[in-house]
Every structure is written in C-alpha cells, then in structure tokens.
A and B are shown apart, each in its own frame.
Chain A
C-alpha cells in the first residue's frame, strides 16, 4: 500500500510566522504535489516536483515555496503566514500510471 504521511493533522500559527509542512512517501514515486483545498474552490495546485531538487510552480504559488532534498520528502514552506493561507493542505504522490495518492491532509489555521 502506498503511504503518504503528512507531519501534522492540525496546525495553528500566527500571522507572520514561518510554517513548514512536511510530506513523506514510501513508494519511491518521482512525482510529488502540494495542493490547498477551500470550500467551493476545489483542489488548487501550489507546487509540484518531478525529481530531487526540482520544483515547478502550480496555479497558486504566491506566498509559498517548496523543498525537495530527498526523493521521499517534499516540504511546503509558508515564508510569512497570512490569514488568507488558512486552508486544508494536501500532499500527493503520483505513480507511473498517473494515479495520485494523497496524504491525510493538514488543516492549517493562521490567526
């Protein structure tokens, strides 16, 4: 079974804090993704990576950065958290058959 683990289920941070969301997968997939999901807006792609040290901007990269130092780990960074970044964040990997597998999600609240 594919396992995608996100470090936190719930997180509360203050405006201006630097926030790290970690994602680890155990299936040796090349491709990893970060999404945010808000009511009525669906899944929106923030960043993705097809290889170690490689990153590509998705549809809404502003205010975020990512790091992929190892194949199994893909981190999302909020450099200076703002209230409009309160959301559910989902990490996913993608198999060679283009099937995406999601982590449990991190519900982030920025106060």
Chain B
C-alpha cells in the first residue's frame, strides 16, 4: 500500500512569513511529485511539479525534493491570506493513479 503522509494542520502563519509544508512518501520508485492547492468547496488545482532532487522555484513557491529521504516540501514565501487553503502532495510512479496525501490546511493570518 503506497502511503503519503502530511501533517493535517492547521498550519497558521502571519501574513508575509514563509509557510513550510512537508510530505513523506513510501513508494521508492516515485519519479514525479505534484503539489495541489484546494480552496474550501473547490477542486484541487496543480501549483507545482518537481521531478529531480533539489529545489524548483516558481514565483513565491519553491518545491524541494529529496528522493533518498523520500521527502518533498513546498515553501510559500511572503504568504498572503489568499494562500489559505489545503495543500495536497501527490507522488507519481509511472502510469499509475496518483496517490494523494490527505493534505495540510494552511491559514495565513492578516
């Protein structure tokens, strides 16, 4: 059984701070990693993908991957109240269904 673990939160950060979201996964053959954002009552939307070890930056978002430790993280710099949402981690291993974590709820306090 493939497992994806995320801290459910809520993670509360003040506006302008860095939010750090973490994810560990059990499937060692995972090759692609995705972060989805889900606002309350809405469907998940992709915000970041990462495929190799190291950091990948996109605007205020940075994804970090360490395959040896089976760990992927998402950093949100200069957090805004509009970033308040649930963030889902999803590793992928080939042409199989993504396995989603249960998500971390982020609350950015103005």
Task: Mark B17-48 against chain A: 1 for CB-CB distance below 8 A, else 0.
Answer: 00000000000000010100000001111100
**In whole angstroms, how far apart are the Cα atoms of A81 and B102 in the complex?**
26
Residues of chain A with a CB closer than 8 A to B90's CB: 100
Given contacts A40-B102, A42-B102, contact A102 B43 (CB under 8 A): yes
In the assembled complex, which residues on chain A have CB atoms less than 8 Å from the CB atom of B63? none
Is there contact, CB below 8 Å, between A42 and B43? no
Q: Is the CB of A105 within 8 A of B43?
A: yes
Interface size class of A (residues with CB under 8 A): 20 to 34
Write the nearest CB–CB distance from B108 to chain A, whole angstroms: 21
A31 to B34, alpha carbons, bound, how many Å?
17
B43 contacts A104, CB within 8 Å?
yes
Partner among A33, A97, A102 whose Cβ is within 8 Å of the Cβ of B45: A102
B95 within 8 Å of A by Cβ? yes
Please give me the residue from chain A that is nearest to B49 by CB atom.
A99
B interface, CB within 8 angstroms of A: 8, 32, 34, 42-46, 49, 88, 90, 92, 94-95, 97-98, 100-103
A-B contact pairs, 5 of them (CB 8 A): A42-B88, A45-B97, A94-B97, A98-B34, A100-B46
